[in-house]
């Protein structure tokens, strides 16, 4: 599902216009982004937790050339699914 499909689905479920849902989705993304930039956790019950983590500096090797490269440290966003979501995913057939 992409963002436009999500907007359509929410608009139908909430009986609101797609324009209104788009505005609200933009607001949610803006708030989540701002909180992650402040290094705050975002936790949605029964869904999961977003948090920022620092990835340390590391050495990587290009398999084709064998050249070693130093990859600088950086901040990444990690997602941990909630137990309720994990349980729902366990019921899926492969």
Q: Tens-digit pLDDT profile for the chain (94 aa)?
A: 999 999 999 999 999 999 999 999 999 999 999 999 999 999 999 899 999 999 999 999 999 999 999 999 999 999 999 998 998 888 887 7
**Do 51 and 20 share a domain, yes or no?**
no
**Do 22 and 35 share a domain, yes or no?**
yes
* Separation of alpha carbons 58 and 89, rounded Å: 33
Any alpha helices (H) in 1-94, and if so which ranges? Answer: 3-14, 18-37, 83-90
Domain carrying residue 22:
1-40
**CATH number where 90 lies:** 4.10.520.10
Helix (H, G, I), strand (E, B) or coil at 94: coil
Strands 68-71 and 74-81: unpaired
Provide the number of structural domains found in the chain. Answer: 2
Q: Please count the other Cβ atoms lying within 10 Å of the Cβ belonging to residue 33.
A: 12
Say what the pTM is.
0.77
């Amino acid at each position: 599902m992409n963002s436009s499909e999500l907007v359509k689905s929410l608009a139908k479920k909430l009986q609101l216009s797609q324009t209104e849902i788009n505005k609200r989705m933009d607001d949610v993304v803006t708030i989540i982004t701002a909180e992650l930039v402040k290094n705050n956790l975002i936790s949605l019950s029964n869904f999961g937790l977003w948090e920022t983590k620092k990835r340390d500096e590391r050495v990587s090797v290009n398999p084709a050339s064998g050249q070693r490269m130093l990859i600088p440290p950086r901040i990444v966003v990690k997602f941990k699914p909630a137990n309720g979501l994990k349980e729902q995913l366990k019921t899926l057939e492969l």
